Structures are given as structure tokens and as C-alpha cells.
Structure 1
């Protein structure tokens, strides 16, 4: 509820900034009075236009972050943007003909930018801390013939049916329970149980319990991309860029995950595989993969 309210106020702030900016460009003298100062321009509205384009840009930036769901960037923009109404207020109050009444709009802007910037950042932090999944590299393909990763599968987290061509997977449940489908069989694994999925064997896993499932997966032969895929997946989820079940929010990030862990789709999903390959290739070309690796795959 707090996040929704904060986003709504941020949207209104953005629209308000666009309106104020447009008014300084279209009706500079009227906008000047609303700002709280007045002077004899003698037909020269250069400074009005400068302020107008500043406010117009600020409003468009806020709305762009909202539309693209860049909550953290929006929060930081609001917090840093507080300096604008602070300076505006000081300018207005330096005029002898003004009092606190003329400063009220600027004080309101200060409160809105600072308060809702803090609330959005706090909400982001709470969202991040609410995700319990993690991935930890126990043994890397950099130095060993097998990759060994320990990671937590949160409740409802599930993969679709898929297969790998480059390696086998051995799942060992360290804590909790895990449903694993392998070809035409479905297994309910408990602590101490394990199952090995060979290359080209279709499979899925699903945490159908209400508690996290801790597993150790061994990849043979070792695969660095698979290691990075899990680190990125869990990192995105922890930072709030994924659904409650851990699916990346951005399609390009999901496509990169599928690419990195050598997943091949089965059934009707196979139709979407060329599209996912294209999206992943574009994301790699645009530097998104490098960005994710730098963020989540450092030692």
C-alpha cells in the first residue's frame, strides 16, 4: 500500500513538473508569479525558458522511471531532486515582498520529494530482504572438472520442463523437500535423497512445500555459464527484480538465464525458443549480460 501511494504521488509530481515547465515556456509571466518572484523582463524570457526546460525534463524523467518500473532510480532521483525546491524556496524568501505563503509550494515539493523518495527506497530494501533464495558456488568449473552449487529453492519456485545438452545434473536435497520430474517419472525428494539428470533428459523441479528447500547440484562436466546463471537469477530475485517465485521480471534477463544454463525447451514452449535466443543475443550485444555478471558474479 505504501509503495502504491508513493508511486501515485511520484506520478502526480512528474505530471506537475511537466505542467510547470510547459507553463514557463508558453506563459512565462504567469508562471513567474506562480513561482513567487516578479521582475521587469522587458520581453526577454531567457531565464524563464531555462527553468521551463529544466522542470519539463525533470517531470519527464520521473514519469519515464515510473513507466519503466525503475523504482530505485526513481527514489534516488526524488531524493537528489530535493535540492531544486530547496534552492527555489531560498530564492523566493530572499525577496522582500515575499513571505512564508509564497514559499509554501516549494516547501511542499521538498516534503514530497524527500519523504516519498525515502519511502520508495525503504520499500525496495524490504522487498529485497524478503527473498530468502540464494546461490553459493562450492566448487567452480574454473578450477575443477565439475561445478558444485548450493542454493535455496523458495516455496512455489518451479522450472518448466526442459533439458540440457552440455552436462548432467545431480540434485541432492540438503534440507526440505523437492518435487523433481524426470522423463515420465515424478520423484518427491527429501533430505538425503538425490537424483541424476543425464544430458538430453527432460526434467523439472518444483518446491511444492511452504518452506525453503536447500539443494546441492553437481554439474558434470563443469559449466561456468550455469554457475553464473544461478548467481544472476538469485541476485535479481534478492534485489526485487523477479517474481515471488524467482522468475526475472525483465524478459531479456529471463532469456539470458535460459541461454546461460543451456536450457532447451520442450513441447509447445519449443516454439518460443528462437525468440528467446534472439532476445538473449540482443541483450548480450547491448551489454546487459556483462552488467549482470559484474553485479552478481564477482568472487
Structure 2
């Protein structure tokens, strides 16, 4: 008979541990940094040296990515001497997975020893000062599905993962944000870097004009269909978190506009900005160790 927690979540501690054990037995890499690649940003994984690649379909209990632009591979290797694991493709509510299954890899990473997560996504700009190709450091989020009870922590809480009611006012590590700002300045990327609030929706349809206007009035600078559920589990698990949004399109907020959002534009923007984003993430990872003692947990 299945336990209640397994019925509700689909990612019991035992399942996560079994997957972590399988991966640890299949690679010599012991990652301390986890990276999640958003739409069109899978090239981040190509930065890893001595890569060892696993297809999601070959990993026990792992869901499969169904979105164009998401390779569906887990890549282990080193980046600037740091052992890393990188997801080439994530999972989304609109693919039909339970929200707990979407965040399954995050729990597995924690059980493998990951301490810091860097998440990337492609997002539409709500802030009218943003341009396509900008990169936004996420300082906070609005979890719209959460307002309707769609939260990865719904159901019985397993204390081995984390506390029942985790704090989210510090979801995005402020020391990591400062580190990112410092790296941006060093690389000369300040002209296309932003900081703002990311709003997550369920998708897969893009937002209506009225929805975009409403979300901007609520305080959101960019909108997308991912990341927030992962961040909640990252913090629930006690890991540090940095998240970056690549502004891939400007949300339509004018009824006289003939612009239309589309996934191809998202992927093309990713290709155009990939080199700078890869360099940014690489340099942030390189500086993690020297800043480790001052980073909040």
C-alpha cells in the first residue's frame, strides 16, 4: 500500500534518495553547484569540463522534458574547478506533471550534496524600460499558481526535506545577488543587466493584454512559466539560490499593437545572448568559494 505522502507528492524521500544514489553510483562528480537551463539556454551545460551526460529517460524516477529547446539531459562536470550538475531542460506545469514532480530534480540535487542553485529562464518583459536581450537578476517573485493552492510543498511535510512553513522573504540569496552585480560590473555588462520581480504563471498560453497590465500593476517586471516552484523547493531544502531571467520578448500591453509573443522568438533571443550569459554564470561560479563564508544560508 502506498504511503499518503507518496500518493500526494509523487516524490517521496525514498524515491529522491534512490535517484540520488543511482546518480552518485554512476558518476564520480560530487556536485556542490546546480544549474538549471531555461528555454534556449542549454548551452550553459556545454561549459562543463569532462562532461558526463545522462538522458532524463535513463534516470530512475525522473520526468521527461517535452518542450522544444529543452534537450532533456543531466550533465555532470566541473566549471571553473567547481563540481557541478546542470539540467539541460526543466519541467513545467503545462506539461501536465504534478507540481511536486516538476521539482523532483531539486530534491535529488540536495541529497547529492548541492549547496547552491543557479536557475535561468526566458521571460517576457512587463517593465516598459526593459528591452529584448536584457538579463534580469530576480530579487523576488509572485507565485500566481500558488494563489490557487498549486505549491510544491502542498501535502504532508517530510521533515527530512525541510520545515513545514519555510520563509520566502529571503528566497533569492542577497549575497549571491551582490556577487552577481559585482561580476556584471567586472564584465562590463551593466548596459543590459536589470534587477526585478519575476511572476510565474501556469502556461502554456501566453498572457492576454489585460493580464500583462494587471501583473505589472501588481509589481512584476517580467513574466514566465517556470522557476518559482523550483525556488520554493530550493529554499525548503536549505540551499542558496540565484536566478536570472533572459528577457526574450516584450509583453504586449497595448490594444493597438500588432506584436505577438511566440516561442521561436524566445529561442532566438537565447541564442543571441548565450555567450554573455554563459560567461556571467561561469564567473559567478568561479567566485562562489571565496565568498562562501559571507553567503547566507
* Structures share fold, TM-score greater than 0.5: no
Hey, which of these two has a bigger chunk of helix by percent? 1
Normalized against structure 2, the TM-score is what?
Answer: 0.26
Larger radius of gyration: 1
Normalized against structure 1, the TM-score is what?
Answer: 0.26
Higher relative contact order (CA 8 A, sep 6+): 2
Hey, which of these two has a bigger chunk of strand by percent? 2
